[in-house]
Amino acid sequence: MSVNLTFKFPLSLLTQESDYILDAAEAHAAAVNPRLPANFVANQRTLLTTVRSAASTQKTKTATIGGLTISQDQAITALNDLVSRAKDSAKRAFKGQDVKLRNDFQVGINSPGDLASVLHRARIVRDASANVENASLLATKGWLATDTTALTNAVDGLDTTDDTQETAKADKTGSTDSRNTAANNLYEGLLTVQNAANIQWPDRDTANSVVRAEFRLGLFPPRSTKKVTPPTPAPTPA
């Protein structure tokens, strides 16, 4: 099951506020560290680095998937063009043999249009074109063995591109889960640091206002800006 973020604001805000809060914790280490587990602030710094690095990796993986989609579209176009030419050649070589044309060369069959089905039909056409008896007749209509080889390469190329894309999608999902786990842990860690600071410098003493601001108390986490629709008033009795 995928890991969701436990907070409702952008990661960029989390990383920005993390710097403020951890800077304050490091500046006031003597006072705040005794209220925290050993190496707690340093561990949060490590998490912050992880989240920032993961965010950059995530953008790279998204770009990779986008690039593969373009490559995939180009491969499908090339494949469909070769399949169409093979069908046209077969219709001339086996004119009037409707059953053969439909079964062996998929003439008249153009759906469904999902990638698996496109590849399945292309393989049937490729295999029919490679058949020795068919190949000799196709050659009389202009379709050569080199064209069948090109069709084979197009099928294999598209299949490889699809496999690569699916792997990239899986990698991206795993990267997202890892990033979200780190971000959730960082968020909880910041709240722990803030709680320690809140105890150390209570708001009842106005002299603590500056250090409390350094720990972003009252400022982080951000308050929800979601508008709440007031309840519809009950109708006034007639």
For residue 220, is it within any domain?
A: no
- Whole domain around residue 197: which residue ranges? 11-214
- How much is the pLDDT for 60? 47
From first to last of its 238 residues, the chain has per-residue pLDDT tens of: 688 999 988 888 999 999 999 999 999 999 999 999 999 999 999 999 888 886 555 554 444 444 445 567 777 888 889 999 999 999 999 999 999 999 999 999 988 877 778 888 999 999 999 999 999 999 999 999 999 999 999 888 887 654 444 454 444 445 788 889 999 999 999 999 999 999 999 999 999 999 999 999 999 999 864 444 555 666 666 5
Q: How many domains does the chain have?
A: 1
For residue 58, is it within any domain?
A: yes
For residue 224, is it within any domain?
A: no
For residue 222, is it within any domain?
A: no
- How much is the pLDDT for 92? 95
For residue 6, is it within any domain?
A: no
For residue 3, is it within any domain?
A: no
For residue 232, is it within any domain?
A: no
Q: Which two tokens stand for residue 87?
A: 């069908």
For residue 225, is it within any domain?
A: no
* 232: number of Cβ within 10 Å: 6
What 3 state SS string does the chain have?
A: CCCCCCCCCCHHHHHHHHHHHHHHHHHCHHHHHHHCCCCHHHHHHHHHHHHHHHHHHHHHHHHHHHHHHHHHHHHHHHHHHHHHHHHHHHHHHCCCCHHHHHHHHCCCCCCCCCHHHHHHHHHHHHHHHHCHHHHHHHHCCCCCHHHHHHHHHHHHHHHHHHHHHHHHHHHHHHHHHHHHHHHHHHHHHHHHHHHHHHHHCCCCCHHHHHHHHHCCCCCCCCCCCCCCCCCCCCCCCC
- How much is the pLDDT for 125? 95
